[in-house]
Amino acid sequence: MSKKFSKDPLRGFKDFYPEDLREFNWIVENIKDIAEIYSYEEFKSPQLEPIEIFAAKSSDELVNEQSFIIEKKEGERLILIPELTPSLARMIARRSQELKKPIRWYSNPTCFRYERPQRGRRRMFNQINFDILGENSLYAELEIFNIIVDIFNEMGATGDQFQIFYNSRRFIDEMCKNLLKIPQEKIPMVYKVLDKADKIEEGEFEKFVSDTFEEEFIIKGILKLKDAKSVEETLSFFETVPQEFYNTEGYLELVNFQKLLKESGLSDYCTYSSSVVRGLDYYTGIVFEVFDTGKENIRSIFGGGRYDDLLSLYSDEKISGIGFGLGVLMLTLFLKTYDLIPKEVYKKDYTDTIYIASVNEKGSTYAIELARTIRDEDFPCIIDYKFKNLKSQLKKANELGILIVLIIGPEEIERNKVTIRNMVSEEQKSVNSEDIVEEIYTILDEFEE
Ligand code: HAM
């Protein structure tokens, strides 16, 4: 016997069977409704990009350890996109003069990361992105947070089931510079260690921090920092905080944003977290991650933040943006945990589908013509190509949940008629073929009553 290939997709990849796709589409449609009411426009970018644009601003880990790379003959290296933001920046830079600011765009790309597959993480995944560019005020952050809350609310989730954890990179920068006296070039290392804080064991984290920094003062500072529950608590770890610190951009950004959240009634959905810094290099201001508050889904559902300099990859123009990527897989797991996906989503609904059963193949042309008339009226229509035993055709229609069957036999063909059967009442009658659409509407009206 010849060798059979594996039926499974590649590790970490997924086949979407129709019921999987129905679930996926239901989630995406709900999110598109939110995009509509905030007036975000959909865009699409290629799945392959030059590797350099990710190497320059995303993260070393993403490019060196987690990428699917394709080498072209001439040695040019391309990457299957691990995220969308550098491509978004490229598209904006390309047309920046003509695009009206602020730009509100969303997209639903398939991304690829060579990660260890685990609950909530695959090597091929869908990530819905919302970004607003060219709006520098904190109202853009507020809008993005409102969108996140609306996405959850649209699907029936409540504020006790999810939280947006936020921080400000500008605030961390100021603390590192002014309070921990960490040299500017080492600040990215602070992001790197803090980003690991919630992802590894306590002991492992402590070792990672002391392996990364030499100075005891810095090590202690970072270890304390990661557990603070409020801005005040974060600052209370330092013996003295000079008065100028309270006038720095980073401190003011964070407290002003907290004020906005409070005034807009979003505080219940949001929590300050000293260890949220984000793993991507391009963030510069407010950063955030969204988590399930329960124990079952431990990885982030959304991640995002403000990036001031991403367009510098492509031009000298400065357009600041803020946005998020939402993992559809993580959101699906979250919604399933709280039983928020309606059962009907998984089953194809055949209730408005018309089933044509012809008792012999001589009726095939007649059946196909009839089907055309019905489809022209926008009713889904199935023809049973077995052309045999009526009983078994009716049984099949019944199993699908079909409500109306049209039966064709030699007599119907000869007299230009159709027998229409109501599958619920089991009543049937012979009607002229030109009246069939009207008869279908009559039966459907009866069902509605
Ligand atoms: P990110 O935090 O790397 O951000 O990804 C955002 C979300 O994508 C995560 O919270 C997670 O739900 C999902 N995700 C990431 N990796 C995987 C994976 N291997 N399998 C399944 N889901 C995954 C970004 O990518 C930023 N570009 C988001 C952004 C947009 N920032 C500003 N605008």
**Domains assigned to the chain:** 18-343 (3.30.930.10), 350-448 (3.40.50.800)
- Our answer on whether the CB atom of 407 is closer than 6 Å to any ligand 1 atom is no
115 class by beta-carbon count within 10 Å (0-12 exposed, 13-18 middle, 19+ buried): middle
pLDDT tens digit at each of 449 positions of the chain: 789 999 999 999 999 999 999 999 999 999 999 999 999 999 999 999 999 999 888 888 888 889 999 998 788 899 999 999 999 999 999 999 999 999 999 999 999 999 999 999 999 999 999 999 999 999 999 999 999 999 999 999 999 999 999 999 999 999 999 988 888 888 888 888 888 887 788 888 888 888 888 888 888 888 877 778 899 998 988 888 999 999 999 999 999 999 999 999 999 999 999 989 998 989 999 999 999 999 999 999 999 999 999 999 999 999 999 999 999 999 999 999 999 999 999 999 999 999 999 999 999 999 999 999 999 999 999 999 989 899 999 999 999 999 999 999 999 999 999 999 999 999 999 999 999 999 999 999 998 88
115 lines ligand 1 (CB under 6 A): yes
b/e sequence 374-391, b meaning 16+ C-beta within 10 Å: beeeebebbbbeebeebe
Contact call for residues 50 and 76 (beta carbons, < 8 A) = yes
* Amino acid at the residue 127: Q
Specify whether the CB–CB gap between 176 and 214 falls below 8 A: no
The pLDDT value given to residue 164: 98
107 in contact with ligand 1, CB cutoff 6 A: no
State the closest ligand 1 atom to the C-alpha of 122, by its place in the atom list counted from 1.
Answer: 20
CA distance readout (Å), 398 to 241, 278, 370, 390, 430? 75, 53, 20, 12, 20
pLDDT number for residue 360 = 92
Q: What pLDDT score was predicted for residue 100?
A: 96
Token representation of residue 107: 């997209």
Closest CA relative to residue 256, chosen from 348, 247, 324: 247
pLDDT score at 219: 87
User: What pLDDT does residue 279 have?
Assistant: 86
317 close to 103: Cβ distance less than 8 angstroms: no
Q: Which pLDDT score is estimated for 388?
A: 82
Quote the ligand 1 centre to 412 CA distance (angstroms): 60
Q: Considering only CA atoms, which of 173, 180, 148, 142 is closest in space to residue 161?
A: 148
CA 370 / ligand 1 centre spacing (Å): 49
Q: From the CA of 386, how far away is ligand 1's center (Å)?
A: 49
> Which amino acid residue places its CA nearest to atom 24 of ligand 1?
325
- Whether omega before 188 lies within 30 degrees of 0, making that bond cis, reads no
Give how far the C-alpha of residue 279 lies from the chain's centroid of Cα atoms, to the nearest Å.
Answer: 19
Most ligand 1 atoms within 8 A of CB, residue of 115, 127, 196 to mutate: 127
Q: Separation of 354 CA from ligand 1 center, angstroms?
A: 43
Find, among 16, 13, 27, the residue nearest to 121 by Cα: 13
**Of 328, 30, 298, 324, nearest in space to 150 by CA:** 30
Threshold 0.75, pTM exceeds: yes
For ligand 1, atom 26, name the residue with the nearest CA: 325
Ligand 1 site, residue 113, Cβ cutoff 6 A: yes
| Protein residue closest via CA to atom 16 of ligand 1 | 121
Ligand 1 pocket test, pick from 53, 83, 88, 310 with the greatest ligand atom count within 8 Å of Cβ, gives: 83
